[in-house]
């Protein structure tokens, strides 16, 4: 990969041209789907991110409408790690996540790799490359050989794309009680309400009461969404 090709990202003065250049880079590695998403901070709502993507429009609309970012294991990984993540079926563990993966596959997003972005000023994002091929051992090996160059593309994409990222409005961080934080930490590691009740010595109804308060404070509908929101706010 020649640096002059990457320099095209630095030279583009509008988001559309910049996105087209990034897509061309992805195509050069055999990926026909590319998504770049960047939020000004980890505290910003995921819906406020700057996004450039050639993912199918119907899938993007569905993803946003259903708030899939809050159950997508790729998003939760990227929030807490600097390491790239290769998409394989085993990544999608819960029934909800497996249904999500099946739906993504139907839109041509069967295999891919995502590279987390954590900027020096608190920016958070992800660069994903996807394709409709099988996510088998051969694919994983091939992606492994590409990772150094894909990581370089990620760095160029962040450096050149951060200027398009909107400034996040000030947002108050919800206050959770010590018990709510305790419950949410157990939810994060996959414990059910019944299991948490045994661990904490309170009733299952009390655990569900705390989770209801947490969801209300975060303005989310599910436990998984609450966990992702808490991680993005640095609460857990």
The tens digit of pLDDT for each residue in 161-181 reads: 998 887 766 556 788 999 999
Band of residue 236 on the pLDDT scale cut at 50, 70, 90: confident
CA dist 13 and 161 (Å) reads 10
pLDDT of residue 169: 60
CA end-to-end span of the chain: 40
Given a cut of 60, whether residue 1 has pLDDT beyond it is no
The tens digit of pLDDT for each residue in 140-157 reads: 999 999 999 999 999 999
Inside any domain, residue 58: yes
Range of the domain at 89: 3-164
Measuring CA to CA, which residue among 208, 213, 212 is closest to residue 197?
A: 208
- Residue 110, both tokens: 């069967």
Q: Are strands 33-39 and 124-131 parallel, antiparallel or unpaired?
A: antiparallel
pLDDT of residue 170: 56
Neighbour tally for 114: CB within 10 Å = 24
The tens digit of pLDDT for each residue in 18-72 reads: 999 999 999 999 999 999 999 887 777 766 789 999 999 999 999 989 989 889 9
The tens digit of pLDDT for each residue in 117-141 reads: 998 888 899 999 999 999 999 999 9
Q: At what angle do helices 73-80 and 223-232 cross, to 10 degrees?
A: 20
Domain end position, chosen among 132, 164, 196? 164
Inside any domain, residue 170: no
CA atoms within 13 A on the CB side of 143: 24
Based on the structure, what is the number of domains in the chain? 2
pLDDT of residue 13: 86
One domain for residues 100 and 194: no
One domain for residues 190 and 214: yes
């Amino acid at each position: 990969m020649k640096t002059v090709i990457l320099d095209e990202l630095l030279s583009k003065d509008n988001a559309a041209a910049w996105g087209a250049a990034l897509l061309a880079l992805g195509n050069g590695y055999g990926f026909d789907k590319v998504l770049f998403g960047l939020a000004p901070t980890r505290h910003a709502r995921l819906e406020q991110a700057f996004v450039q993507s050639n993912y199918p429009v119907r899938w993007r609309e569905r993803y946003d409408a259903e708030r899939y970012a809050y159950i997508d294991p790729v998003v939760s990984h990227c929030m807490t790690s600097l390491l790239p993540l290769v998409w394989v079926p085993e990544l999608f563990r819960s029934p909800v996540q497996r249904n999500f993966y099946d739906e993504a596959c139907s839109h041509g997003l069967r295999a891919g790799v995502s590279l987390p972005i954590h900027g020096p000023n608190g920016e958070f994002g992800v660069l994903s490359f996807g394709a409709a091929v099988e996510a088998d051992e051969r694919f994983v090996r091939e992606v492994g050989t590409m990772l150094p160059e894909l990581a370089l593309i990620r760095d160029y994409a962040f450096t050149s794309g951060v200027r398009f990222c909107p400034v996040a409005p000030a947002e108050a961080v919800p206050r959770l009680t010590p018990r709510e934080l305790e419950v949410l930490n157990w939810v994060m590691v996959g414990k059910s309400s019944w299991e948490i009740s045994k661990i904490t010595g309170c009733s299952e109804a009390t655990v569900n009461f705390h989770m209801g308060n947490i969801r209300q404070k975060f303005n989310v509908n599910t436990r998984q969404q609450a966990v992702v929101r808490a991680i993005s706010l640095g609460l857990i």
